Amino acid sequence: MKEYIYSFVDFIINSQYADLGLFLTAFAESSFFPIPPDTLLIPLALLNPEKALFLSFLTTIASVLGGGFGYFIGYKGGRPIVSRFVSDEKLYKVKQLYNKYDVWAVGIAAFTPIPYKVFTIAAGLFELDFKRFIIASVLGRGGRFMLIGLGIHLFGPAIKPFLTSNLEVFTIGFVVLLVFGFWAINMFLKRQSHSDSLKQEKF
């Protein structure tokens, strides 16, 4: 598998359509393709640090669009189609996360060992709110890829050792902040709703 990935990455990087290859890979990975876009984004950005932010933005857009396609597969295909893409074990784990975090589990998916495409297809199967699904995808995938692009843009090739050895720790820290932010927003909205209810009762 590793040899296949290396050959694929080498082919895309040396192609005159490398940006397009990155876009298509990021799109496909969100619904059915096994190779994560990071494997292309990092070397392409390192080869051209001044384009790192653009490449990260491109990857984010493609990944979110691909996530929308994955949602469509789950929503329209139903359980029989989903079973072809996702094992029952992974689907159960994702369902637990959705039960706990609702659509924001999609944002968390960017940093979990479970492939992102499992979350996108399952979101459609469980009929989660599509608009909130897209917002969560932008935050989660954008956070992951833009962190990579920003680091390479600022520090260039010198950041490669840190990026390859500490990316997981770095992104875990980001997702902790992300989850805390979601929790804080939900608490604020609940309190606001409760306050409005009390005001209405007084009248």
pLDDT tens digits for 75-113? 988 788 777 777 788 888 888 888 877 777 777 775 566
Residue of 140, 160, 137 lying closest to 148 (CA atoms): 160
Kindly state the average pLDDT of the residues 57-83.
Answer: 90
Q: List pLDDT tens digits, range 141-162.
A: 888 888 889 888 888 877 766 6
Contact 125, 163 (CB under 8 A): no
Kindly state the average pLDDT of the residues 137-141.
Answer: 85
Kindly state the average pLDDT of the residues 121-126.
Answer: 88
What pLDDT band is residue 136 in, cutting at 50, 70 and 90?
Answer: confident
Crossing angle of helices 52-85 and 116-125, rounded to 10°: 60
Q: List pLDDT tens digits, range 36-51.
A: 898 899 999 999 999 9
According to DSSP H, which parts of 86-129 are helical?
88-101, 105-109, 116-125
pTM over 0.75: yes
What pLDDT band is residue 9 in, cutting at 50, 70 and 90?
Answer: confident
Q: Is the pLDDT of residue 72 over 90?
A: yes
Residue labelled with tokens 């994560």 = 36
